[in-house]
A = this chain, B = another copy of it.
């Protein structure tokens, strides 16, 4: 219409340059391994897959091209489903950011918009169509070793920061617990994402004053041959937006193991 032609000319002219652009959505799916014997730091896992034609021995985040007229969140859901068999829901997704350096993909210009999702640990991944393999791999090994293609290490690091914020403000942590759970189980979920330990007493108090977060039951744990005092069981409260931030600083002793230690 009217004056829009001028603008259209500009865009059409630049459209040829646009031809080599590929808009991807990559998704970081976090989960917590339910194995209580593992260290909390080793229970945080990320869903990764082997790309057909990808570098040998390397993993990649599930992701793919955005379809015409497709919301970015739907691209995320679709590609995760295709490449790993996992089904995400739109409300699970949270944007991490855009990664668009010209040489982040050596094949062509690829701009990736990263999303993050937190899901309970699935018993098994369904069969896969568009990838050679899919699996949950510990965050630690992906971060420490160079197991990821492209700049996907950067992406999972940024994604964990988003996840941390979500744990602070909402009750998503409960989705990693069974319907009835102990305080320690819940605390270890936080420790897994934080990648450091939290004082049990402070954690308990902080959670207790957070209204409608969890509800104590008249029941106690009994893990068969587990030693120690039986733990009280809790169930989820009814508010998903927390009244208080669940936040704990990493204690200074642990940050600088060789640094200023306390008086003996």
- Which A residues form the contact surface with B (CB < 8 A)? 2-7, 10-11, 14, 17-23, 51-53, 65-72, 95, 97-98, 100-102, 107-109, 111, 113, 130
Interchain CB contact under 8 A, A71 and B100: yes
CA distance A244 to B256 in the complex (A): 17
- The CA of A100 and the CA of B23, in the complex, are separated in Å by 10
User: Which residues of B lie under 8 Å from residue A51 when comparing CB positions?
Assistant: 7
Q: Are B102 and A52 touching (Cβ within 8 A)?
A: no
In the complex, are the beta carbons of A52 and B18 less than 8 A apart? no
**Contact between A98 and B98 (Cβ–Cβ < 8 Å)?**
yes
Given A18-B22, A18-B23, A111-B23: A102 and B69 within 8 A (CB)?
A: yes
Residue of A3, A21, A98, A113 with most chain B CB atoms under a 10 A cut-off:
A98
Q: Tell me the number of copies of this protein.
A: 2
CA of A66 to CA of B109 in the docked complex: distance in angstroms? 11
Using CB atoms, name the residue of chain B closest to A13: B65
* A53-B5, A97-B98 known; A67+B17 contact, CB < 8 A: yes
Query: In the complex, which residue of chain B has the Cβ closest to the Cβ of A52?
Result: B6
CB proximity of A158 to chain B, nearest CB, Å: 10
Q: How far is the CB of A26 from chain B (nearest CB, A)?
A: 12
Rounded to whole angstroms, the CA-CA distance of A97 and B20 in the bound complex is: 22
| Closest chain B CB from A98 CB (angstroms) | 4
Distance (Å) between the CB of A78 and the closest chain B CB?
A: 12
CB atoms of B100 and A97 under 8 A apart: no
B102 touches A6 (CB 8 A): no
- In the bound complex, residues from chain B placing their C-beta under 8 Å from that of A22 are 11, 18
Which residue of the partner chain B has the closest CB to A1?
B53
- CA–CA, A129 and B108, complex, Å: 31
Residues of B within 8 A of A109 (CB): 68-69
Seed contacts A10-B130, A113-B113; 16 additional CB < 8 Å A-B pairs: A4-B53, A7-B52, A11-B22, A14-B65, A14-B67, A17-B65, A18-B23, A18-B65, A21-B23, A66-B100, A71-B101, A71-B102, A72-B98, A72-B111, A95-B97, A98-B98
